[in-house]
Amino acid sequence: MKPEFTALTIVAIVVFGTIAFAVTAVRRFRMDPHEYIVGSRSFGALLLWILLAGEIYTSFTFLGAAGWAYGKGAPSFYILAYGTIAYTIGYFYLPSIWRIGKERGLLTWPDLLIDRYGSRALGVAVAILQFLTTVPYVTLQLTGLQILLTIAGYGRYNATIAVSAAFILIALFVFTTGLRGAAWASVVKDSLVLLAVLFAGIYLPLHFFGSAGAMFARVTEHHPHWLSLAPATSNYGTVWYVSTVLLTSVGFFMGPANAQSIYSAKSEQTVRRNMMLMPLYQLIIIFILLAGFTALAVIPGLKGTQADQSFVLLLQRYFPSWLLGLVAGAGCLAALLPASVLLLGAASIFSKNVLTDWFGVATTDRSRLLWTRTLVLICAVLALVLWIFAKTSLVDLLLFYYNGITQLAPGILLALVWRRVSAWAVGSGLLAGELIAVYSLHRSVGPWGINPGFIALTVNLAVCVCVTLLFPRRELFIKTPVPEM
Amino acid sequence: MTRNTRGMTVLRVFLAAVPCFMLSFAVALVNRDQPRIFGLPFIMAWIVLWVALTPIFLFAVERLRPKA
């Protein structure tokens, strides 16, 4: 039997099987916007953990992390650190955000901003921004899918067609099951990804070199400075590392789907428990990094964006096709599911905050649901179009996404602690930050080695603070007091 | 006996800040390949260690949270 047939059949079984499982699991729930978007706020700690973990472990973690280990070396360690810091600071501010969300019936980040700052214009602007930044993120997952299917097909099939089909499938999946379906599908996905990653990180170094130590020894033979950061202000040096870790940990929960996930929790304590335990899940990233380094030691010579393929290419060349199929299947789920959750997030935000709140359409539960589903498809198609026309690297896409969404952080975090901040302050800060983020689109390293998104965030915060000090909000719009930490 | 909740908050924030510092700024200070720890480059072992220790710090922070 031809290897590509085996591999792709297994991928299909994995993907379709998961979808069938998830659709069955949610059959008994009635789909209204509250169920569809935030799972009726009833997810206990375990289901929430699965959802959060599922959202966070995506194509970037699966392929991109190994790709960075292969292509950059030590800078890839930031991936271990930033999530951990994000959970630590999230432990402090997310429970308060949950509580406000519950009290005020909030579903999205723009909802929170409108509630705290009283400006519909700000809410609409942020809603549009979140919808737009979702597109490159989804394209990122699509690119991951394309890589996996091409390699599982041993280069024999037109990946473009395969990706389009798979993608439409997942859009329909979200379309019918909402957030709870995605959480259940994540159960399957996380189990498979965990197995795949453990196999990759533990077995691969052992198989080729006898131990991780021996593998690293081989890496440094050919690349003596690979495993420590370049000094200070050089490209991807220590300054870059610190600024990037701070930037991405602050922006970690600011994405369109994250508000929904937090608000799906049953209680504040559920959120806290998750934050305490999630760092343990970060440890899995060690194994994917080990896989990337092993790939470097075994098949050096892949250049540029090809580095993203390194780990699966290693499997294709040295291991049987069924194994490749299983790992590729896991990777496909890792791409498809977060893409779905994000599509859902972006669509719900646009539907609620732009269409309903601003244009006054989609006011009944039923029409809102219909609009949300339509927007899922629209966003999905936009992402597909972007994929077809703009073939950039995984990293460029992710950086654009992160630089864009992190700019929300000052507005959201200050809302918890400082009553004088006005919508104008947040808006000006946001504008300044986004302008810088867009300007530095093609540079991953800014002046003095600082991450440009970090510069944008700092400027954003500075502008926001200055405007607040010069023009503090004169009257408190909101009667609900700001909660304690 | 009354609880000094302000002091408690400071302590909790400090405890949470320790792993954050170790995973960000401190990495610039321990940025070296050697000595290898269990075969891993030193900087990597450092980061892994502090990722693993974070839940412990957070459990401590949670235990110290004043329950109203």
Sequential DSSP letters for A319-345: S-HHHHHHHHHHHHHHHHHHHHHHHHH
Whole-angstrom CA distances from A178 to A237, A261, A404 are 42, 12, 25
Q: Put residue A90 in one of left, alpha, beta given phi > 0 → left and psi -120 to 50 → alpha.
A: alpha
What pLDDT was estimated at residue A357?
76
Please check whether residue A181 is in contact with residue A173, taking contact to mean a CB–CB distance below 8 angstroms: yes
> Which of B9, B21, B27 is the mutation pick for testing A, counting most A CBs within 10 A?
B27
Q: Are A86 and A279 in contact (CB under 8 A)?
A: no
Residue A448 contacts B where some CB pair is shorter than 8 Å: no
Residue in A closest to B26 by C-alpha: A242
pLDDT tens-digit map of A261-288: 788 788 899 899 889 988 988 888 999 9
Using pLDDT thresholds of 50, 70 and 90, give the confidence band for residue A476.
low
Q: Is B2 helix (H, G, I), strand (E, B) or coil?
A: coil
Distance from CA of B2 to the nearest CA of A (A): 19
Q: Is the peptide bond before B35 cis (omega within 30 degrees of 0)?
A: yes
Does residue A150 have a pLDDT over 50? yes
CA-wise closest residue to A427 among A109, A120, A122: A122
Region of A232 (left: φ > 0; alpha: ψ -120 to 50; beta: rest) is: left
A242 → closest Cβ in B19, B24, B32 = B24
Contacts of A69 in chain B (CB under 8 A): none
- Residue whose C-alpha is closest to residue A241's, from A437, A79, A67: A79
Integer Cα distance of A250 and A234 in angstroms: 23
Interface of A with B in 268-307 (CB under 8 A): 272, 275-277, 279-280, 282-283, 286, 289
What phi and psi values does residue A237 have, to the nearest 5 degrees?
-90, -165
- Taking contacts as CB-CB distances below 8 angstroms, the residues of chain A near B41 are 74, 216, 227-228
Is the separation of the CB atoms in A4 and A157 below 8 Å? Answer: yes
- Partners of A216 on chain B (C-beta within 8 Å) are 36, 39-41
User: Nearest 5°: CA angle at A397, between A168 and A325?
Assistant: 50
B16 vs A89: CB contact, 8 Å cut-off? yes
Closest partner residue to A283 (CB to CB) among B31, B38, B51 is B51
And the tokens for A129? 């921004």
Ramachandran assignment for A230, one of left (phi > 0), alpha (psi -120 to 50 degrees), beta (any other): beta
* Per-residue confidence (pLDDT) for residue B6, from 0 to 100: 84
Distance of CA A313 to the CA centre of its chain: 24
pLDDT at A224: 87
Give which of A449, A353, A344, A342 is closest to A404, Cα–Cα.
A342
Helix (H, G, I), strand (E, B) or coil at B40: strand
Q: Name residues whose C-beta falls within 8 Å of residue A421's C-beta, 6 or more positions apart in sequence.
A: A117, A411, A414, A415, A464, A468, A473
A&B contacts, CB < 8 Å: 110
Chain B residues closer than 8 Å to A485 by CB: 9
Nearest to B54 among A84, A92, A246 (CB): A84
pLDDT tens, A91-145? 999 999 999 988 888 878 998 998 888 888 899 999 999 998 888 888 888 888 8
Asked whether the predicted pLDDT for residue A87 surpasses 50, the reply is yes
> What's the one-letter identity of residue A406?
T
Angle ∠(A34,A281,A138) on CA atoms, nearest 5:
55
Whether A257 and A51 have beta carbons less than 8 Å apart is answered as: no
Structure tokens at A360: 């006054």
Q: How far is B23 from chain A (nearest CA, A)?
A: 6
pTM of the predicted model as reported, rounded to 2 decimal places: 0.88
* C-alpha to C-alpha distance for A202 and A205, rounded to whole angstroms: 6
Nearest to A93 by CA among A391, A370, A418, A367: A418
Residues A406-442 pLDDT 10s: 999 999 999 888 888 888 899 999 999 989 888 877 6
Handedness of CA A239, A139, A409, A63 (dihedral sign): negative
How far does the CA of residue A473 sit from the closest CA of chain B (Å)?
A: 27
Q: What is the pLDDT of residue A146?
A: 83
Please state, in angstroms and rounded to a whole number, the distance separating the CA atoms of residues A101 and A3: 51
Burial class (CB in 10 A: 0-12, 13-18, 19+), A340: buried
- C-alpha to C-alpha distance for A258 and B1, rounded to whole angstroms: 41
CA distance A399 to A137: 9
Q: Which residues from A are below 8 Å from B24, CB to CB?
A: 81, 85, 241-242, 245-246
- If one counts every other C-beta atom within 10 angstroms of the C-beta of residue A91, the result is 24
B15 burial level (CB within 10 Å; 0-12, 13-18, 19+): middle
**B44–A214: do the CB atoms touch at under 8 Å?**
no
Q: Quick check: helix, strand or coil at residue A187?
A: helix
Q: What percent of chain A has pLDDT over 90?
A: 26
Cα–Cα–Cα angle for B15, B19, B25, rounded to 5 degrees:
120
Distance of CA A71 to the CA centre of its chain: 21
**Average pLDDT of the residues in A366-390:** 83
Contacts of A92 in chain B (CB under 8 A): 13, 16
